[in-house]
Amino acid sequence: MARRILSVSGCPDAELSVVIVDDEEIRSINSDYLERDRSTNVISFAMQEGEGAGIHPGLLGDVVISADTAARDALEAGLPFESELYFLLLHGILHLLGYDHERGTAEEARRMEAREEEIFAILRREFLGGDTGGA
């Protein structure tokens, strides 16, 4: 799924790591690296930002997803677990590609949301059997 997301995003040869963890682990990562002492659904660590940016241009970074949070969110929304997991993967990859809904402007947030909807519609058609909603 990550390969397809990268391809649709225009980066078919990019590299990244995807790590699936539980709430306890993502809370620890969130606390250690982002100074937020709480669990979350997805965290991205971009390799093309900061001091080491550009050393390996094809390496985008890491996406860490909490399976516990994804399962709860899917259940609450009445969606299949896989749908929520793929949406979080897409969300994390878009962050690695420079989209930002947290630190950017309202326009940047809308741009990210539109891109998520566009790509997730493709993923739903190809992998999830049609309309399975979105996060």
Tokens of 72: 């709860």
Contact 96, 16 (CB under 8 A): yes
Assign 65 to helix, strand or coil: strand
91 among the known binding-site residues? yes
**How far out from the chain centre does Cα 11 lie?**
15
56 among the known binding-site residues? no
Locus of tokens 């909807």: 117
Phi, psi at 75, each rounded to 5°:
-60, -45
Q: Which residues are annotated as a binding site for Zn(2+)?
A: 91, 95, 101
Which residues does the annotation place in the binding site? 91, 95, 101
